Every structure is written in C-alpha cells, then in structure tokens.
Amino acid sequence: MRRKEKKPQKGSPKWMVTFSDMILLVLVFFVMLFSMSVIDAKKFEAIAESFQNRELLDALPSMVEFENPDQNPAQDDADSFNGLNSDQSEEEMDLDQLLHEVESYLENNNLSEHISATRDDRGVVLVLQEQLLFESGEAQILSEAEPFLNKVGTLLQSLPNLVKVEGHTDDRPISTYRYPSNWELSGARASSVIRYLVNNHSLKQNRFIATGYGETRPIAPNNSKENLRENRRVVIVISDPDFEQNLRESAGDL
C-alpha cells in the first residue's frame, strides 16, 4: 500500500512565529528600559566637552608613533606658552605663569603703583582703587583713568579667559537719585568698566560678568580714611577655567 503524501502547510513555519514573538518581546523590553532611564544632561555635556577639549584623549596612549618618542602632543601644548600672545586654550593655561606675565606687564607699563595683581582660587585678580577711576559717589569713568583702562584692555585682548568685574564700596551710606544705595553704585561702577573695555577694545561682551557687592566685602575695617579708600575699589578677575565651568553650571541651574 502506498503511503499518503503529506500536504505542505501553507504560511510561515511554526518556528518562525515563535522567533518573531521572542524578538518582539525583546524589543518591548529595551523600549521599556529606555523609557524608564534618565539621561543626565550635565554629565553628558561634561563628557562631550571633555572630548572636545582633548582632556580624555590626551590621557590615553597614542596608537601613532612619533619621531621623538619622549615627546607627545600634550607636552607640545604645555611648551607652547611663551607669553600673553599664546594661542593656548583656557584649559591649558597655567595661571601661576599667567600671574607672572601679568605682573611683568604691569611693571613694564608703570601700572604697579595703581593696580595690584594676586592669585586666588578664582584666578588672577587685579585691584583698581576708586580714586583712579571715579569721582566720589559717581560711576562715570574719569578721563585720567582711560590710559590705565586701555592698557588693561590690551592685556585682556591677549587672553581667552572669562573676566568678572566686581564693584566694591565702603560702608558710608549713599542715597541719590541715580544711586539709592551702595548696591546700585557698586554695580554701576563694574558695568562702566566693562562698557569702556568693550567699546574701546576688541573684546566680546559674553566674556564679561558685572557684579556689585556694595559694602559687604571689605578688605579692611571701615575705621580710617585709608581703610575706606582701600575698600572703595574695582576688582577684575581673570578667571580660572575650572572656576568658569562652575559658573556655567551654576547659570545652567537657574
């Protein structure tokens, strides 16, 4: 007797249906994982900026052999700082070296008696006394101060750093139509210095931050004429790149 021939089944094989169901479930699983995940925008931006600024890449060994094995691109960048006209990026600039260059600049331009330069965690700090820039209780820059500010502007043109300008007063109260208190006076003085620098030099406005502290941050007790004079000042901070990053992150949180 002849065996009956099995008729071929129509449609896809049964194993393919099972396989399709499994793939669909895996897809749904990963979609659920992605929907429940939270992307940290700050961390992502920080990682992207690190790659852009070569902070991570410089730390990795290179796959390309150099003609001089003792030298690498990171060392070349470090050795390329030869003065204020260097093309180094903000992250690569050594602020101790910058302070030395600024002090030399002030000395060579006869500014040391009028402007002091120091270094703190914010960066390189320049202090200009009030009598050099303004009349008492005013925020309009004196014509006698313009040569000094022009030299400061020339200095800042040579640097890529963010610049913060702070206005400070003594504790004597002020109440005028323009300046109801020391807050307005200190802020107006900081803004006047920035406006002059930007208008008279090739400096971008987005490099500057103006801050008025009023009498809240004295450097000496307000108990003598000399101390009062020291507290009335404008401070120009050439920012440390790390300090700049913290400012950007703080601004992003607002």
Give every strand in the sheet of 208-214, ordered side by side: 115-120, 123-129, 233-239, 163-168, 208-214
The position carrying tokens 């260097």 is 86
Spatial separation of the C-alpha atoms in residues 155 and 108, rounded to whole Å: 12
The pLDDT assigned to 125 comes to 92
58-115 pLDDT, tens digit per residue, is: 444 444 444 454 544 444 444 443 444 444 444 444 778 888 888 888 888 888 888 8
113-163 pLDDT, tens digit per residue, is: 888 889 888 888 999 988 889 998 999 999 988 988 998 899 899 888 899
The pLDDT assigned to 38 comes to 57
Confidence of residue 25 (pLDDT cuts 50, 70, 90): confident
pTM over 0.85: no
Q: At 197, which amino acid appears?
A: L
Comparing 84-88, 158-162, 206-210, 220-224, the range with the smallest average pLDDT is: 84-88
Average pLDDT rounded to a whole number, residues 165-177: 93
Alpha-carbon distances of 136 from 44, 114, 144, 148, 210, rounded to whole Å: 49, 17, 15, 19, 20
Decide if pLDDT at 168 tops 60. yes
Spatial separation of the C-alpha atoms in residues 30 and 200, rounded to whole Å: 58
Confidence of residue 12 (pLDDT cuts 50, 70, 90): low
Question: Which H/E stretch holds residue 78?
Answer: helix 73-79
The pLDDT assigned to 92 comes to 40
The pLDDT assigned to 159 comes to 84
Report yes or no: 158 and 84 within 8 Å, Cβ to Cβ: yes
CA angle 127, 130, 199 (to 5 degrees): 80
